[in-house]
Structure 1
Amino acid sequence: MAAPVIEMDPAAPIPDRAAAAAYVASICFKHGPPRLVGAELEWLVRSATSPAERLDPTALLRALGPHAPGTLLASVPADTAAGPVSLPSHPPEPLPAGSTVTVEPGGQVEIATPPLEGLAPLVGAVRTDTAAIRTLLAAEGLALMDRASDPLRPPRRILRVPRYAAMEAAFDRVGPHGRTMMCSTSAVQVCLDAGDGAAVTDRWQALHEFGPTLVAAFANSPAVHGRRTGWKSSRMASWLTLDPERTRPPAALGSDPAEEWATRALDTSLLCVRRDDTWSAPPAVSFGDWIDGHGGLDIRPTREDLDYHLTTLFPPVRPHGHVEVRYLDQQPGDEWAVPVAVVTALLSDHATLDRARDAVAPAHDRWAAAARHGLADGVLRRAAGTLVELAHQRLLTTDPDLAALVGDVAERRVLRGRCPADDSVGEPGEGDLRPADESPYPDDPVLGGEHG
């Protein structure tokens, strides 16, 4: 069983680094038998008739109406907020099946389901709430995109709130890819119970090991900002590059994920320090440095500051009480259900999990190759074929309808060595995009030199 959560006064200064590490380790994994599953789905939003046109935040606010989050309300000037629909009071209303709506910095719309008991109820809830979102957006002439990266528009942040201004400034110090991630990409996230006992470590390790294979199988972002990048998942390439200590997978996975996560969290640089309307932090100062009094900050961090710092860490798999799988590109149409079903099925019993881990053993460190080549990489193709077959066989016994959907995608693409990025999805302008340069990441030691 997990140790009890360590209590700390949320507003009192953290006494030392050891206390902070113990607190993080006690909250990052909520132990218990795997029972609940959830999903967070993002979509890029565009005009249905003028796809290269900038997204108007006022139109998005009118479309979302009572479901609009406070970050969008705060970003639309008061004198232009009035529209033909009533604007929301807070808290925002959930969608019909219970999902909450958030908006990402570039105007991407995200729905987050409540945790549900089982895959079938989850997929049903997402389908209901996705249909509701499409209907709301259509009333303002807006549509969801079938790619996980915006092939036409440059990155433009429409949310004018301190968090995203600080994030943009921090990522700009590293390079240009932070703005791409923030404003021009979208994902499918799967949220799972951590598990119990030794299973916590097994599930945590397995989700990392599956990562490159599933990135390759579901890569769906071949173009950004008017050009083909030469990468099947430009979204994942941006994530791996934009701020490595904050976003890349761990170099190694040990036997105590809670302790390892706590160490990483304290060693990661501050994204910002929240004070009044100006949120900033000196560069290259970690949260642990702040606790130790280094970095020139004249205030001491509290537990509230630590809780917020944890929300600024974006690795491919993140413990948040439950475990978030964050490495999957958004899929065309309703195929978001396929990666959700595959991830859930692979973790559903010990025998399937063990066989899946064996299948990806040759591929578990091929993150950059997966993003660049997708299933054109032979090692990843073989691993992906086994994973989708294992998931398909498991789903046949638990959810035949989802098994049929997974089987269809496996037959049309995965077993043929193709990912969504290899197919035309009819997005406007795709046929007119400029060809890729040799590498959009020539100076990056991993992404500039990885060729599979």
Structure 2
Amino acid sequence: MSNPAEQDARPITSTSELVEVLASGCKPRDSWRIGTEHEKFGFVRPEAANADRPAFSSPDYEHEGIAALLKGMEEQGSWQPIMDGPAVIGLKGTDLDKGAAISLEPAGQFELSGTPLASLHETKDELDRHFVATRKAARPLGLGFSPLGFHPFATRASQPWMPKSRYAIMRAYMPKVGTLGLDMMQRTCTVQVNLDFASEVDMVRKMRVSLALQPVATALFANSPFYEGKPNGWLSNRARIWTDTDNARSGMPPVCFDEDFGFEKYVEWALDVPMYFVVRDGRLIDVAGRSFRGWLAGDRQDGLEGLTPTIGDFEDHLTTLFPDVRLKTFLEMRGADAGSADMMLAQSALWVGLLYDDAALAAADSLIRDYSWDEYRTLRGDVPARALNTPFGAGTVRDVAARMVEIATQGLRARGFRNDAGVDESALLAPLQALAGGAPTQAERWLERYNGPWAGDVTRIMLEAEV
């Protein structure tokens, strides 16, 4: 979830201005970029454990925890603090990290929002640099970080809360709109990639392709088979959590499949999603459950007294919508569990390959037409349990994944971006090519470890998954 940002204080005079907010994201192809974001769980390394900080427990904000980690990152010289009242709740990149940000998820999950970059080779370099910097700051504090889709053994009660104002609002509101919202906040991690579009027509095509295929990506990246120390019956428990978090703002909005879908239709959908907060003078005002559409129409009650909606308010509101593919001034692919460094890169490579080459996008568009939108929405609820082995059509999801990965491979080869060794970006799809060919998912590999050398001790996953 995003850090606070400076607001556009212009009052909203018509919904056409909100359409323009989204349309302002249209860019020529040579300006398209790749922005990779990932989250990871912190833990106390065994050698630093004591009575107050048990081994593998989640670090809190204080006591050589997340605040100290942020300070350690800042002292490396390319980060500036982002404040929420008196608390440092994130970092803004400078110099080599300009355009990037570090933010905190509700229980201290550590998130890198990467700089928008031209190639996946640059993305790899950025991730490698981030992991080195994070270890440099974390190891003196006795901390490690592991990217997994759902925390494998922590209870909700054992997880800390970060001092971020929006999370206090969400914490109170989530139980009113779903049974699993607090689990989403405290016990999940994801990886996503943010990609550009050239025009409204291009956005619509990319939105439909990526939204339809998001359940297939969920299956490929399944990496959360444990719940409070035991197998949970799901290969992506993170994806299951999203089926009952807040369905008014998440999932696969049917409007995206309407024949006349476009920027205006997305705005109209967004206006009907209940609000969380309004920011004034750097302070968040709790208006959870209020209607943005009603506010625009003149409703100034229940926390909105005397407040005029601004462009910045709408931009903030867009960050509180959680569909599997989110539209802002770019498209965010949000359907994958966090996983290994190779899988993080593969997630970005998959969508770049599918969406950034014309022939690949046309092939992907043809692929999704094999099934109805209703079938894709049903698939979203089916894949968390069996991932690639989920029955679909005349075969399984793995069959669709194989076609998807092959299209992406061709798309990346056509892009022609090579590293210094002359290797093109398609090499980053190797983990997915193995999965498409029958290899077990990350979740299935962890279950093999649980039933084998771990002898049922799930805490072993933290060091084995550490980045």
Report the TM-score when normalising by structure 2: 0.79
Q: Which amino acid aligns with 1:26?
A: E
1:48 aligned residue: 45
2:380 aligned residue: 367
CA contact (8 A) 1:193 1:323 kept: yes
Instruction: Measure, in 2, the Cα distance between the counterparts of 1:236 and 1:176.
Output: 14
2:295 aligned residue: 290
1:192 aligned residue: 195
Instruction: Measure, in 2, the Cα distance between the counterparts of 1:310 and 1:258.
Output: 13
Change in 2 beyond 3 A, CA 1:394/1:307: closer
1:33 aligned residue: 28
Mapping 1:289-368, distance limit 5 Å:
289-294=294-299, 296-297=301-302, 298-303=305-310, 304-360=312-368, 361-362=370-371, 364-365=376-377, 366-368=379-381
Question: 1:220 and 2:237 equivalent?
Answer: no
SS at match of 2:37: strand
CA contact (8 A) 1:71 1:159 kept: no
Instruction: Measure, in 2, the Cα distance between the counterparts of 1:311 and 1:430.
Output: 42
Shift of 1:166: 0.3
Question: 1:387 and 2:409 equivalent?
Answer: no
Q: Any idea what the Cα deviations from partners look like across 1:169-225, whole Å, max 9, x if unmatched?
A: 111212341111112111111111122353222112111122111111111122233
Instruction: Measure, in 2, the Cα distance between the counterparts of 1:64 and 1:336.
Output: 22
Give % identity.
25
Instruction: Measure, in 1, the Cα distance between the counterparts of 2:198 and 2:410.
Output: 22
CA contact (8 A) 1:32 1:196 kept: yes
CA contact (8 A) 2:151 2:226 kept: yes
Change in 2 beyond 3 A, CA 1:215/1:140: same
SS at match of 2:233: coil
CA contact (8 A) 1:271 1:280 kept: yes
2:427 aligned residue: 404
Change in 2 beyond 3 A, CA 1:302/1:354: same
Instruction: Measure, in 2, the Cα distance between the counterparts of 1:100 and 1:258.
Output: 27
Change in 2 beyond 3 A, CA 1:125/1:93: closer
1:421 aligned residue: 443
Change in 2 beyond 3 A, CA 1:332/1:431: farther
1:132 aligned residue: 133
Shift of 1:388: 1.3
Instruction: Measure, in 2, the Cα distance between the counterparts of 1:132 and 1:334.
Output: 18
Instruction: Measure, in 1, the Cα distance between the counterparts of 2:437 and 2:300.
Output: 52
Instruction: Measure, in 2, the Cα distance between the counterparts of 1:404 and 1:263.
Output: 41
1:431 aligned residue: 456
Instruction: Measure, in 1, the Cα distance between the counterparts of 2:210 and 2:288.
Output: 33
Q: Which amino acid aligns with 2:191?
A: V
Q: Any idea what the Cα deviations from partners look like across 1:219-265, whole Å, max 9, x if unmatched?
A: 11222333433222221222231110111211242333201110111
Change in 2 beyond 3 A, CA 1:346/1:282: closer
SS at match of 1:40: strand
CA contact (8 A) 2:205 2:365 kept: no
Q: Please provide the CA RMSD for this pair.
A: 3.0
1:376 aligned residue: 389
SS at match of 1:335: helix
Q: Which amino acid aligns with 1:148?
A: G
Q: Which amino acid aligns with 1:106?
A: A
Tell which deviates more after alignment, 257-266 or 392-401: 392-401
Match of 2:285 among 279, 282, 290: 279
Q: Which amino acid aligns with 1:315?
A: P
Q: Which amino acid aligns with 1:423?
A: R
Instruction: Measure, in 1, the Cα distance between the counterparts of 2:121 and 2:248.
Output: 36
Q: Which amino acid aligns with 2:9?
A: P
CA contact (8 A) 2:399 2:436 kept: no
Mapping 1:126-165, distance limit 5 Å:
126-155=127-156, 156-165=159-168
Mapping 1:4-23, distance limit 5 Å:
10=9, 12=11, 14-15=12-13, 19=14, 21-23=15-17
CA contact (8 A) 2:343 2:431 kept: no
Match of 2:169 among 142, 166, 169: 166
CA contact (8 A) 1:385 1:415 kept: yes
Instruction: Measure, in 2, the Cα distance between the counterparts of 1:387 and 1:108.
Output: 30
Instruction: Measure, in 1, the Cα distance between the counterparts of 2:181 and 2:188.
Output: 11
Tell which deviates more after alignment, 322-331 or 116-125: 116-125
1:233 aligned residue: 236
Mapping 1:29-108, distance limit 5 Å:
29=23, 30-34=25-29, 35-49=32-46, 50-58=54-62, 59=64, 60-65=66-71, 66=74, 67=79, 69-70=81-82, 74-75=86-87, 92-94=92-94, 96-98=96-98, 99-108=100-109
Report the TM-score when normalising by structure 1: 0.81
Q: Which amino acid aligns with 2:208?
A: Q
1:437 aligned residue: none
Instruction: Measure, in 2, the Cα distance between the counterparts of 1:91 and 1:202.
Output: 34
Shift of 1:9: 7.8
Residue segments in structure 2 that go unaligned for 5+ positions in a row = 1-6, 47-53, 459-467
Change in 2 beyond 3 A, CA 1:95/1:384: farther
Bigger strand fraction:
2
